[in-house]
Chain A
Amino acid sequence: MRAGEGAERREARLAWRLVAPALATILLIALFPLLWTVWESVHLHDLRMPWLGRPFIGAANYLEAFRDARFWGALGHTLLFTVVTVTLELGLGCVLALAMNRAFRGRAVVRAAVLIPWAIPTVVAALLWRFIFEGQTGIANTLLVDAGLVRDPPVWFIHSGLAWVPVVLADVWKTTPFVALLLLAGLQNIDASLYEAARIDGASAWRQFRYVTLPLLKPAILVALIFRTLDAFRVFDLIYVMTGGGPGTSTEPIALYTFNSLLQNLRFGYGSALSVIVFLITFALALGYIRFLGAGLTETRA
C-alpha cells in the first residue's frame, strides 16, 4: 500500500515536471503579456512625452475610451463589419459547400479552385480589390457603366457608406472558401442513408435540408461561426490597406484604432486600455460560443 502511494506521488511529481515547460511557456507568452498590458492600461505612459512621467492613473484611460467618440465609432464599425461579413460568408459558404458535395465531373478541380482566394495573402487581396474599386474609372466602375447600372460612377473610397462595399466584398471573397470547406467537411460526415430514409418518407428537398442537413451540420456551422466571428472582430490588415480607416474614420475598426494609439501615437497607456477592452469583448464572445458550441454538440449527439 505505502509503496503504491509513494509511486503514485512520484508519478504525479513526474507529471508536473513534464508539463512544467509547457505551463511556463504558456505563462510567459500568454499570461505575462496580458498582465503587462493590464498594468500599462492603468498608467499614463506616453512614449513621446516622457516629461509626463509614468504615473498610476487608475481607470482614467478606460474612462477616456468611454468618452471617446472615435472609440465608439470604431467599435460600431467592427460590429457592423462582423455581422455583415459573417452572415454573408456563412450563407454563401453553405451554398458552395452543398454544390461541392454533389457528385459531378471535375469536382476535385472545383474544390481546389474554390480555395484560391483563401490562399492569397490578405494584403495582396486587399490591394487587388482596392485597385478594382479605385478612382472614377476603375474596373468596377467601368463594368457598372458598361452594364448601364450607373451613369455617374462614384469614387467608392470617399463615401462613408460606399467605402464599405469593396471592403465587405473583399472579405467575403477571401473567406467564403474557408467557411465552405469547413461546412463541406461537416456535410461529408452525414450518413447518406438518412437522406434515403427521408426520401422514402416523401420529404421534399427543402425538408431534407431543413430537418436532416441543417441539424447535423450544426457543429460545423458553429465551428465556422466562432472562427469567423473572432477573425472578423480583429479585422485589421484588409482595412488598413484598402481604406486606412477612411474617409475620415468611417471604416476604422477597433483593431486599427488600437494600432494607431499604440504604435503610431505611441500612447502605451491608452492603447493598452483599448487592447484590454478588445480582449474582454473577444474573450466574452469566445466564451459564449464555447458554451453554445458545447450545447450544440451534446444536442446533436443525443
Chain B
Amino acid sequence: MCLGLLLALGCGRAPAGGPAVVTFPGSALGAEGQVLRRQLERFAALRPDIRVVQRPTPDAADQRHQLYVQWLNAGASDPDILQLDVVWTPEFAAAGWILNLDRFHPATNAFFPATVTANQWHGRLYAVPWFVDVGMLYWRTDLMSAPPATFADLAREASHAQADRGLRYGLVWQGARYEGLVTVFSEYLGGFGGRILDGGTVTVSSPAGVRALTAMRDEIYRDGIVPQSALTWHEEESRFAFQNGEAAFMRNWPYAYALMEDTAASRVAGRYAVATMPAAPGGRPTAALGGAQLAINARSDHPEAAWAVVEYLTRPEQMLERARGVGQFPTRPALYAEPELARALAIPPAQARAIIEHAVPRPVTPVYTQLSEILQIDLHRALTRQQEPAAALAHAAREMQALLDRVGLGEGGPGAGR
C-alpha cells in the first residue's frame, strides 16, 4: 500500500513522447498484490511504451464501489483501469462510465458464457472476466457416498446425520440480511426453476420463488436442519460450523475449501468435497456467480494502453499464475484441462468446472444493488417469520418493479443506457 502510494505520488502524466501512464487500483494487498506486481513487471518489460501505476484502494467491496462512483461521477480520467465486482458492470456501463470493449474485438467465446453475460449491457461487452467465484455445496464424504441431487435428498441426509451421527446442524448457509443472502436465495430460486428478473419484469414472486423461499424457511423451522442462528451468519460463521464438524452440509464459496484442509484448525480435513447445489424437479442446479472483472474508464486518456494491460492480465498464463498464487479460478474453461491448474487449485478442476458451468449471473441491470437491498429485507422478513414467504415476495416484487419503472428500466420503459 505504501509502495503504491509512493508510486502514485512519484509520477504524474508522462510528457509527450514518453510512455503512456496507465493507473490501476487493483488489490495490492498480500499474496494477491505480489502476483499482480510480478505480472505488471513482466508487462513493463514487454511493453516499455506503457507504464502502469498502481493506486491503493480499499479492499472492501462497498467502499471501493463508493470511491469509484465518486471518481467517475466527477469525470476523472484516472484511474484508467477498474477492477469491478460482477454486479457493478451494468451499473457503470449504463452510466457511461466505462468503455464498450467491442472495439478491441475481445475473444468472448474463450470465457465461461455466464461471466460474459454478466459483463454485457445491451449486448455489448464492458468488462473482461478476470477470475470467477461460485456458490457451491460442501458435503461430508465420511457421512455419505454422493452429494444430494434434490433438496428433498439433502433434507433427508441432513436429518439423518443429525439424528444418527449426532451432528448439531444438518446444513449451514448465510442468512444474515446482506448480499450473501440474495446469492443463497438465487441458488434455491434457480433450483426451483425461478428467476429474479425477466427483462424489465420482476418475476421473483412467481410460484417457483415462493416454493424456493418456503423451502429455505422449512429447513429452519420445519426440518430443523438449518439453525436459526444462521439468520445472522455470514460466510465465516458457516465455515466455522462446518470445519468444526458440526454440519453435514454447507453452502459457501470456494475460498473455504483450501482453508479447511488445514488440519490444525479443521476437524473435517480430507473429509469433504464440493458439488453444485441441489435442485427440485423442474429446476436446475444453480451456482451464484461472483468474481472480478477488468474495465476501462470511459474518460481514460490512453484507452489503447489500458486495453493492452487488461488483455495481458487476462491471458491464460496470467490466470494460471493467479490460480497458483492466490487460488482464484480462471474464467477460461480451456484452462481446466491443464494439469498445472490441478496442482494450483485445492478443488479438483473438473469438479470446479462442472459447478462454474451451472453459474447464473444475478440480474444484469444497472440498479442491481438497489433491487438486492429490497430483496434482502423481504427475504429476511420471511425467514425470521415476520411475514409469509408469498406476502414477502409479493411486497419485494412490487417495490422492485416500482424502482425499475421509476428509472425507466421497467417493461415498456424507454430503457436506459446508451
CB distance from B406 to the nearest CB of A (A): 9
A135 lies within 8 A of B229 (CB): yes
**CB contact under 8 A between A48 and B366, given known A247-B381, A249-B377, A263-B66:** yes
Q: Which of B91-99, B140-148, B182-190, B247-255 contacts its partner?
A: B91-99
CB distance from A77 to the nearest CB of B (A): 14
Closest B residue, CB atoms, query A154: B228
Q: In A243-278, which residues have CB < 8 Å from any B CB? A: 244-250, 260, 263-266
Bound: A247/B232 CA distance, A: 9
Bound: A48/B70 CA distance, A: 9
Q: In B375-392, which residues have CB < 8 Å from any A CB? A: 377-378, 380-381, 384, 386-387
Q: Does any Cβ of A come within 8 Å of B373's Cβ?
A: yes
Find chain A residues with CB under 8 A from B229 CB: 134-136, 155, 158
Q: Which of A7-15, A49-57, A79-87 contacts its partner?
A: A49-57
Q: In B41-78, which residues have CB < 8 Å from any A CB? A: 62, 66, 69-70, 73
Contact with A along B385-418 (1 / 0, CB 8 A): 0110000000000000000000110000000111
A158 lies within 8 A of B228 (CB): yes
CB distance from A34 to the nearest CB of B (A): 22
A50 lies within 8 A of B66 (CB): no
Contact with A along B224-235 (1 / 0, CB 8 A): 000111011000
Chain B interface size, under 10 / 10 to 19 / 20 to 34 / 35 or more:
20 to 34
Find chain A residues with CB under 8 A from B256 CB: none
Of A46, A49, A155, the most chain B CB neighbours within 10 A belong to: A49
**CB contact under 8 A between A49 and B73, given known A158-B384, A247-B386:** no
CB distance from B378 to the nearest CB of A (A): 7
Q: Does any Cβ of B come within 8 Å of A210's Cβ?
A: no
Find chain A residues with CB under 8 A from B378 CB: 248
A51 lies within 8 A of B231 (CB): no
CB distance from B287 to the nearest CB of A (A): 26
**CB contact under 8 A between A247 and B369, given known A49-B407, A51-B94:** no
Contact with A along B161-183 (1 / 0, CB 8 A): 00000000000000011100000
Find chain A residues with CB under 8 A from B373 CB: 260, 264-265
**CB contact under 8 A between A266 and B96, given known A155-B228, A246-B380, A248-B384:** no
Bound: A246/B380 CA distance, A: 8
Find chain B residues with CB under 8 A from A134 CB: 229, 232
Find chain B residues with CB under 8 A from A244 CB: 176-178
Closest A residue, CB atoms, query B379: A248
Bound: A135/B227 CA distance, A: 9
| Partner of A158 from B231, B366, B370 at Cβ < 8 Å | B231
Q: Does any Cβ of B come within 8 Å of A140's Cβ?
A: no
Q: Does any Cβ of B come within 8 Å of A207's Cβ?
A: no
Find chain B residues with CB under 8 A from A160 CB: 384, 386
Q: In A129-158, which residues have CB < 8 Å from any B CB? A: 134-136, 155, 157-158
B232 lies within 8 A of A157 (CB): yes
Q: Does any Cβ of B come within 8 Å of A107's Cβ?
A: no
Contact with B along A83-112 (1 / 0, CB 8 A): 000000000000000000000000000000
Q: Does any Cβ of B come within 8 Å of A159's Cβ?
A: yes
A47 lies within 8 A of B177 (CB): no
**CB contact under 8 A between A51 and B95, given known A246-B380, A248-B377, A265-B373:** yes
| Partner of A247 from B94, B177, B178, B367 at Cβ < 8 Å | B177
A47 lies within 8 A of B380 (CB): no
| Partner of B386 from A51, A248, A260, A265 at Cβ < 8 Å | A248
CB distance from A61 to the nearest CB of B (A): 12
**CB contact under 8 A between A246 and B177, given known A50-B96, A159-B384, A265-B369:** yes
Bound: A134/B384 CA distance, A: 15
A50 lies within 8 A of B386 (CB): no
Find chain B residues with CB under 8 A from A250 CB: 386
Find chain A residues with CB under 8 A from B416 CB: 49, 51
Closest B residue, CB atoms, query A263: B66
Of A50, A158, A160, A265, the most chain B CB neighbours within 10 A belong to: A158
Closest B residue, CB atoms, query A46: B407
Find chain A residues with CB under 8 A from B176 CB: 244, 246
Bound: A135/B369 CA distance, A: 28
Closest B residue, CB atoms, query A134: B232
Bound: A227/B65 CA distance, A: 36
Closest B residue, CB atoms, query A252: B377
A48 lies within 8 A of B95 (CB): yes
CB distance from B408 to the nearest CB of A (A): 8
B232 lies within 8 A of A48 (CB): no
Bound: A164/B407 CA distance, A: 36
Bound: A180/B235 CA distance, A: 42
Bound: A160/B384 CA distance, A: 8
Bound: A157/B177 CA distance, A: 11
B228 lies within 8 A of A48 (CB): no
Find chain A residues with CB under 8 A from B417 CB: 51
A48 lies within 8 A of B96 (CB): no
Bound: A263/B384 CA distance, A: 27
Bound: A47/B69 CA distance, A: 7
CB distance from A159 to the nearest CB of B (A): 7
Bound: A52/B413 CA distance, A: 13
Closest A residue, CB atoms, query B233: A135
Bound: A295/B82 CA distance, A: 60
B380 lies within 8 A of A247 (CB): yes
CB distance from B152 to the nearest CB of A (A): 25
Closest A residue, CB atoms, query B97: A50
Find chain B residues with CB under 8 A from A266 CB: 66, 69
Of the A-B pairs whose beta carbons lie under 8 Å apart in the complex, a sample of 14, sorted by A's number, is A48-B367, A48-B370, A50-B73, A51-B96, A155-B232, A157-B231, A158-B228, A244-B176, A244-B177, A246-B177, A247-B231, A247-B380, A248-B381, A248-B384
- Which residues of A pack against B, CB within 8 Å? 46-52, 134-136, 155, 157-160, 244-250, 260, 263-266
- Which residues of B pack against A, CB within 8 Å? 62, 66, 69-70, 73, 91, 94-96, 176-178, 227-229, 231-232, 366-367, 369-370, 373, 377-378, 380-381, 384, 386-387, 407-408, 416-418
| 10 closest residue pairs by CB, A with B | A248-B381, A247-B384, A158-B231, A155-B228, A246-B177, A135-B229, A158-B384, A248-B380, A50-B95, A157-B232
Known: A135-B232, A155-B231, A245-B177. 13 other contacts (CB 8 A): A46-B407, A47-B73, A49-B94, A157-B232, A158-B228, A159-B384, A160-B386, A246-B380, A246-B384, A247-B386, A248-B386, A265-B373, A266-B69
